[in-house]
Amino acid sequence: MKKWTALLCLAGMAASLLSGCQETPAADSGMPALTGEQKGATEITAQLNQSVYEQLDFDDQQELEFAQKGLICAPESLELRNEDGSLIWSQDAYAFLEDADAPDTVNPSLWRNTQLNHIYGLFEVADGIYQVRGYDISNITFIKGDTGWIVFDPLISVECAQAAKELVDEQLGEYPIMGVIISHSHVDHFGGIKGIVSEEEVAERNIPILAPEGFEEYAISENVYAGTAMGRRAAYQYGTLLDKDEEGAMCIGIGMGQSKGTLSYLSPNDIIRETGETRVIDGVTFEFQMTPGTEAPTEMNTWLPEKNALWLAENCTGTLHNLYTLRGAQVRDGNAWANYIMEALSLYGEQAEVVFQSHNWPHWGNDVIQEYMTNTAAVYKFIHDQTLFYINQGYTETEIADMIQLPAALEQVWYTRQYYGTLKHNVKAVYQKYMGWYDANPVHLDELTPSAYAQKLVEYLGDTEEVLNMARADFEAGEYQWVAEITNTLVYADPDNLEARWLCADALEQLGYQAESGPWRNAYLTAAQELRSTEAPASNPMSGAAEMQQKMSVNLMLEYLGIRLDSNAVEDLNGTINLILTDTEEQFVITLRSGVLLYQEGTQAPAADAVWRMPKAALFALLQGSAETVRAQADIQDEDGLLEAICAHIVVFTPDFTIIEP
């Protein structure tokens, strides 16, 4: 793991540097001194942002009208706090957006999209269908049944879901939860479930919790295998550590950002496996369309025939979505995504009077719906097909991302603008899906590490001060991407080069101010913030994550044990272990081969080196590397000390590694 490298304070300047206000003279450059402070927009950035008004039709108000349509109630203030008083969600923080034009520090297109996502409250979608929007990154939807509510996708945080339910109770009357439908396996669609219903209620009243096949496996594994790294990177994508102001975080296209409340989890008790399956819950009919491999590995749309309403999960939204997400995830299939949208059109498009989804706002009217779904499918299909068109002519992912451009008519569509996903990154996702990381250039078969490359390049460049002077001249000329690249190289060669850090931050900041994509803006500005800081990177873990971990299967726990084991440190460790789970009656053989942990399910080795009998709960202590706790909970026969050898080399991951420097 890369460790945080603290800034070295220059002699006689320590106090000033730690306050972040020390200026470093620009040696004979004739330019203003660099500082570690946040800056406003340059004239070049201001002009580029102003030019956006000429590129897009800001008089087209359809998306604004749909975002406002059906509003029943919007609390004057919306700030949600957890039990200890910590702020977990705020729309008040974005009050500066209201009735204001875009400042020079924000792309006007992103500013407009942020204003639309800032419209929050309780909305009527259709007769008996209501949404609470703007109470979290996602929407929570309430369908009125004969006696109560069937809920779609209960947000990410318990506190947010609870507040949304209270708003519904206040405005529409108190009714029991009669069912919950979870559209897919991302946490912002199920994490708040205990804010609307308890585990005891589900058991006592036999409340159905529906989800697509594979939901629990993907919901848990995605947050386990690479969960620590994803959590750290998510701070860049979602801007969780940025201020909410004209020089800070805007929305991220699909919502204002992530809430920071309590995560909860209830296992589904009814699994949907095939397109066309139906359920009747509290008198309401639901027909499901499976859409695996689209926005999530497992996902489903839902048709409500009595209401001529189509729930599109996260397959259509108010923005271009991600085929690859910046926090890290499995690459998504743009071709399948487009085809499932077209299948939904074939199945339900002629009858649909409204389409609604787990982010952004609904669309009404059959003509509008036909166009909305077709345009969305066309964008993903275009990205998929045209990337392969260029791949087969020998172009690399970076070249294709630079040369490809959406058809002019699709570029003008507000709901496929690049507020969340971007054309460039989606192209690279298609390239990765089909070709992997290698571009066929043998120079890249065994590349130097970023630090080694940077140090060698600096050695060749010679005079670092002169490089900085040239970079500053390029900054003045508006070549911010190049300035960010060359100064970041200097940072990787010498993390204590303050001028390089500050100039890199200044360049990234301008790129952030120009970005139409909310995640791009957040990533640029978060990196700038960290380059200017003298403190270690912060993390923003959600509380309640342990509840999901309790649902890990033994197989998944053994997989994760292998990931956490430093195999290189124990490459001489060999042996076999019979693992017997006393409460679940599961049996496994664990094989250690040159420090690699392998396992087999449902069997026992006749001559194992050790036998571990334990309840499943003891495996959590094993994952933490606590041999003492494991022995206290288990019956361990292990003369060779395999348990202690494993636990001594378990690494507990922490989300504080560096990103913008070595």
- Give the burial class of 607: count Cβ atoms within 10 A of its Cβ; 0-12 exposed, 13-18 middle, 19 or more buried: exposed
CB atoms within 10 A of CB 231: 20
Which pair of structure tokens corresponds to residue 479?
Answer: 């070549």
C-alpha to C-alpha distance for 220 and 237, rounded to whole angstroms:
21
User: Per-residue pLDDT for 448 more than 80?
Assistant: yes
C-alpha to C-alpha distance for 225 and 211, rounded to whole angstroms:
22
User: Per-residue pLDDT for 390 more than 90?
Assistant: yes
Closest Cα partner for 189 from 375, 315, 353, 335? 315
Binning pLDDT at 50, 70 and 90, where does residue 31 land?
confident
Read off the pTM.
0.93
- Residue ranges and CATH numbers for the domains of the chain are 47-425 (3.60.15.30), 552-647 (3.30.1050.10)
Predicted local confidence at residue 27, as pLDDT: 46
C-alpha to C-alpha distance for 438 and 412, rounded to whole angstroms:
34
Per-residue H/E/C for 143-191: EECCCCEEEECCCCCHHHHHHHHHHHHHHHCCCCEEEEECCECCHHHCC
User: Per-residue pLDDT for 19 more than 70?
Assistant: no
User: pLDDT tens-digit profile of 121-159?
Assistant: 999 999 999 999 999 999 999 999 999 999 999 999 999
Residue 161 · residue 91 · CB < 8 Å:
no
Residue 557 · residue 564 · CB < 8 Å:
no
User: Tell me, what DSSP letter sits at residue 262?
Assistant: B
As a whole number, the mean pLDDT across the chain is 93
Half-sphere exposure of 291 (CA within 13 A, CB side): 31
Which pair of structure tokens corresponds to residue 140?
Answer: 């929570």
- Determine the length of the chain: 662
Predicted local confidence at residue 5, as pLDDT: 34
Beta bridge partners of 592: 575, 597
First to last CA, the chain: 10
User: Per-residue pLDDT for 13 more than 80?
Assistant: no
Helix axes 334-344 and 423-435, enclosed angle (nearest 10):
110
Predicted local confidence at residue 73, as pLDDT: 97
- Strands 121-126 vs 300-304: parallel, antiparallel or unpaired: unpaired
| Burial track 349-366 (b if 16+ CB lie within 10 A, e otherwise) | beebebbbbbbbbbbbee
User: Per-residue pLDDT for 7 more than 60?
Assistant: no
Which pair of structure tokens corresponds to residue 403?
Answer: 């040369």
Task: Give CA separation, 229 vs 2, 81, 98, 223, 552, in Å.
Answer: 12, 27, 36, 10, 19
User: pLDDT tens-digit profile of 550-608?
Assistant: 889 999 999 999 999 999 999 999 999 999 999 999 999 999 999 999 999 999 999 99
Closest Cα partner for 518 from 190, 68, 226, 112? 112
- Strands 121-126 vs 129-133: parallel, antiparallel or unpaired: antiparallel
What are the counts of helices (DSSP H) followed by strands (DSSP E) for the chain?
A: 23, 21
User: pLDDT tens-digit profile of 610-639?
Assistant: 999 999 999 999 999 999 999 999 999 999
Q: What angle do CA 257, 303, 202 make, to 5 degrees?
A: 70
Predicted local confidence at residue 17, as pLDDT: 30
Closest Cα partner for 548 from 227, 86, 271? 227
Task: Give CA separation, 66 vs 172, 362, 365, in Å.
Answer: 21, 7, 11
- Give the burial class of 441: count Cβ atoms within 10 A of its Cβ; 0-12 exposed, 13-18 middle, 19 or more buried: exposed
Predicted local confidence at residue 534, as pLDDT: 79
Closest Cα partner for 284 from 212, 201, 208? 208
Predicted local confidence at residue 11, as pLDDT: 28
Binning pLDDT at 50, 70 and 90, where does residue 403 land?
very high
C-alpha to C-alpha distance for 254 and 140, rounded to whole angstroms:
13
